[in-house]
Structure 1
Amino acid sequence: MSPLPTQHPLVIGHRGAPGYRPEHTRSAYELAFALGADAVEPDLVATRDGVLVLRHENEISGTTDVARHPEFAGRRTTREIDGTALTGWFTEDFTWAELSTLRATERLGTLRPASASFDGRYPVIRLRDLFGIIDRAAEERGRLLRMVAEFKHASYFAGIGLPLDELFDAELDAAGWGDGRDRLISESFEPTVLDDLAARGVRGEKVLLIEGSGSPADLVQTHGASAPSYDSFVTDPGLRSLVGRFDGVSVGVPRLLDADAGAARGAPAARGGGSLEGAPLCGAALVDAAHAAGLTVFTWTLRPENRFLLARFRRGKGKSAWGDWQGAFGAVLATGVDGVFVDQPDLGIEIRSELAQG
C-alpha cells in the first residue's frame, strides 16, 4: 500500500457516512470506505471503565435510544461540559457493557429521514472496533486508509480521571497500529491533548481544530479570560506559531466561504478589524498562508442540504432539500485545502474527480 494518498484533497468520511446511515455506526464507516473515502473521522469519548467509544458527544440522548431504557432512567443528570450546562445521559456514567446494550439513532433525523430509517438497527461501537474496520477495508481495497481521530472534551475527561491521550495510546498499541504514523491523524479543539499525545510518542499528523468563535476550553481552564481566541491561531503570526508543534489546522466551511468576504479565492479579509498582519484570515488567503508556513488545512463539514449551505448555494425553501452542493463543494476545493470532511463521501469524491479532470 502507498504510504500517501494518491489524490488531493483527502476525502474524509465525517463520522462515517451519516448522510446515509446513523453516524458512528459500523455500517456508516463501512459504507464510507465503499463510497471511496480515503479516511474516516471518529469522535472519541470515554466510558466509566475507560473504554473509548464513538459518539458525537459524551451526552448521548440525541444519538442513542438510551431514553427508552427504563433501567437507565436514574442516570439522567445535568453536567457542565466546557462551560455549558447539559442535561441528559453521559458516557462516563456507563460501563462499556451497559453502553453496548444501546442502539444508535441518527442525530439529524428530521433532516435525513433516510438515514433515520436505520435508527435502532446498529449498536454503539468502540474505537477498537473501528481499527478492525479500517484494517479490513484497507486490505480489501489494497490501499492506505486512514483514521482522523477527534478527541472530544479532553480537559473535562482528564479532570474526572479519564485522560483520553492515555486511553488512546493503549488502544493504539493493542490494535497493532504501533505509534500511528501514516495511518493516523489526531485532531482536537483543545491543543493540550495534542501535545500530550505527542509526548506519549503517538505519531501521525496533529491538527488543531478552529472554532468560529471563542477560545479553546483547556486554555480557558488555565488562563481564564486571557485565553487566546481561536481567531488568533489563524492570523499570519498565529499560524507561524503553530509550526513545529502541530502539522495543520482544520476550520469550518464559513472561514473558507465567508458570506461577507464574497468569493473564496484570495479573500484576505480581517475579521473584527486590526492590521492585516494580526487579522484572522479566511478563504484561499488562509490556505495560502498556512501552506507558506508548512501547515496543512482541512475543513468541516461538506453537506448538501440547504440547512448547511451558505445562502448563495441554497435552492428552494426546504431545509432538508439539496441545494447547489456542487457549487459549494467546488468552491471549497478551489481554495486548495488538503482535506475535506464530508457526510456523503461519494459527493466529495465526485467533485474532486470533476476538478481533477478540468
Structure 2
Amino acid sequence: MTQGERMSPGRRTVLGAAVLGTAAAGLPTADASARTRPEHGDARRHGTYKDLPVPYVIGHRGTAGYRPEHTLGSYQHALDLGAHVIEQDLVPTKDGHLVCRHENDITATTDVADHPEFAARKATKTIDGVAVTGWFTEDFTLAELRTLRAKERLPAVRQRNTLYDGRWSVPTFEEVLQWAEREGRRLGRRIWLHTETKHPTYFRGLGLPLEDRVARLLRRYGRHRADSPQFLQSFEPSSIQRLSRLVDTPSVVLLSGKGSKPWDFVVSGDPRTTDDLVKPAGLKWIASYAQGIGPTLDLIVPKDAAGRLTTPTTLVADAHAQGLILHPYTMRNENTFLPADFRRGTDPNAYGDAFGAFKAYFATGIDAVFSDNADTALLAAADFRAKG
C-alpha cells in the first residue's frame, strides 16, 4: 500500500473513540468541538476493543515505575496490577532475534559493563543522527545476550527498583508472546500487547529489518488480524506502512514534540514535521494506513515556560474526526516527570499529585495513556469513568 492509498472498509476496523468528552478539570478548554466525540462510540465498544474500558491504561515498558523495564517481571507486575495493555519495544540481535529493550544501547539496562569478555564490544555509533557510546544488541548473538542480566535504568530516581537488579534476563519477543498466551489461558481473557519497532530505518541499513520479523511472529501466534489483542507502534510512519502491508493488526503512529521530524522523513527528504502531521491533513494521511496516534502529552496539553499546563489543543478532536484513537505518552508519578502544577514538595523523586494530572489529561478525551505506574493510572481512570 502506498502512502496515498486508503484501506478498504473490510480492512479498516471501526476504531473510533469512545470517551465522552468533558472540559479539562481545572484547565482552560479548547473549543467545543474538542469536547465532542464523533458518533463512533457504540460501534467501537462492540467491535475490536470491546474488552477495553475507556480510558484504558497501557503499562509502559511493563510497569517501569516498580520493576526494571522490559523484563518478564515488569510485564507480569503490570498484568497483576491490572494494566489493560502492556508495552514492548523491539530491537534485533546480531543473529536476527527480536528482543525487548527500549534502545539497542543496553549499557544502562543490563550488567554488560560488568562482563570483561564483552569489553571490546563497547563502541560509538550514530543512531538516528545521534552519536551514542555503549554496548548494542546488534553486536551480540542471542546466546551471548542471554548471559546478561537486566537492571534498573534510573537508579537515582527509582532506588527501590534496584532491589530487582539481576533477577531477570532480556526477554525475546517470542517469549513475551508465549507468556501472553499462558497468562491468557490462566486468566480466561485476552492479553493485550502494544509493540514498538525501534529505529527501523537504522536496522534496515544494517540488514536487520524489523517488520518482516515482527509480522512472522504475529502470524505464528495469531496476532496478525484486525481483531487481535495487539497494537503495533513506531515513531517512523514508513515502518507502520510496511507492517500494514504484512498484517492487519491495529497500528499507531507515535509523534514526538513540536518541530521534530520522524527519522525516516529525514532520510527520505520528506519535508513534513510533527507540526504538519498533527494538522487535519496530516491526520487524514495517517488514517489512510494506521488506526491511531501516540502523541507526547505536550501535543495534547502544552506547557508554558514554567512547566505548567496551558490550554488543550484541538488534536484530540481532530484525530477523532479522522477515526483515529489516541494513546499519548508517558505519565509517571515522580515530581520530576509531572507538570509543574502537580509537583508537591522539593524532592524531585518524591511522588506528586499524579491523580490531578491524570484527571486533567483524561478530561481532554484521550482513549488511553501510557503510564509507568499502572495502579495509579487505573485508579485515576476508574475515578474518571465513575464521574461520567
The TM-score normalised by the length of structure 2 is 0.84
Percent identical among aligned pairs is 42
Q: CA offsets per residue over residues 295-347 of structure 1, 9 Å max, x none? A: 11111111010110111111111111001101001111111111211111111
After superposition, residues 140-289 of structure 1 pair within 5 angstroms as 140-179=186-225, 181-200=227-246, 202-212=247-257, 213-223=259-269, 227-260=271-304, 267=311, 283=312, 285-289=314-318
| C-alpha RMSD over aligned residues | 1.8
Tell me which amino acid in the other structure corresponds to 2:99. Answer: V
1:339 aligns with 2:368: yes
Residue 237 of structure 1: how far off its partner (Å): 2.1
1:327 aligns with 2:356: yes
Q: CA offsets per residue over residues 227-258 of structure 1, 9 Å max, x none? A: 31112111122212222221111111222232
> Secondary structure of the residue that 2:104 maps to in structure 1?
coil
The TM-score normalised by the length of structure 1 is 0.90
**Which protein, 1 or 2, shows the higher relative CO under an 8 Å CA cutoff with sep ≥ 6?**
2
CA distance in 2, matches of 1:293, 1:199: 21
Could you say which residue in structure 2 is the equivalent of 1:270? none
CA distance in 2, matches of 1:56, 1:263: 28
Q: CA offsets per residue over residues 87-106 of structure 1, 9 Å max, x none? A: 00000000000001100011
1:45 aligns with 2:91: yes
CA distance in 2, matches of 1:343, 1:67: 26
1:15 aligns with 2:74: no
Summarize the Cα distance change of 1:242–1:3 in structure 2 as closer, same or farther, 3 Å threshold.
Answer: closer
Could you say which residue in structure 2 is the equivalent of 1:61? 107
Conservation of the 8 A alpha-carbon contact between 2:223 and 2:249 = no
1:305 to 334, 345, 349: 334
Tell me which amino acid in the other structure corresponds to 1:183. Answer: P
Q: Which moved more, 1:229-238 or 1:98-107?
A: 229-238
CA distance in 1, matches of 2:213, 2:132: 24
CA distance in 1, matches of 2:135, 2:309: 42
Q: CA offsets per residue over residues 42-93 of structure 1, 9 Å max, x none? A: 0000001000000010010010000000000000001000000000000000
1:139 to 181, 185, 199: 185
Tell me which amino acid in the other structure corresponds to 1:168. Answer: V
> Secondary structure of the residue that 2:66 maps to in structure 1?
coil
CA distance in 2, matches of 1:294, 1:174: 29
Gaps of 5+ in 1: 268-282
Conservation of the 8 A alpha-carbon contact between 2:222 and 2:228 = no
Could you say which residue in structure 1 is the equivalent of 2:17? none
CA distance in 2, matches of 1:247, 1:105: 34
CA distance in 1, matches of 2:304, 2:317: 19
CA distance in 2, matches of 1:6, 1:91: 34
CA distance in 2, matches of 1:119, 1:73: 20
Conservation of the 8 A alpha-carbon contact between 1:184 and 1:203 = no
CA distance in 1, matches of 2:301, 2:382: 21
Tell me which amino acid in the other structure corresponds to 2:274. Answer: Y
Q: CA offsets per residue over residues 248-297 of structure 1, 9 Å max, x none? A: 11111222232239766xx4xxxxxxxxxxxxxxx352101111121111
> Secondary structure of the residue that 1:228 maps to in structure 2?
coil
> Secondary structure of the residue that 2:149 maps to in structure 1?
coil
Conservation of the 8 A alpha-carbon contact between 2:48 and 2:227 = no
2:381 to 347, 352, 355: 352
CA distance in 2, matches of 1:10, 1:103: 31
> Secondary structure of the residue that 1:185 maps to in structure 2?
strand
Could you say which residue in structure 2 is the equivalent of 1:31? 77
Summarize the Cα distance change of 1:244–1:178 in structure 2 as closer, same or farther, 3 Å threshold.
Answer: closer
> Secondary structure of the residue that 1:147 maps to in structure 2?
strand
> Secondary structure of the residue that 2:304 maps to in structure 1?
helix
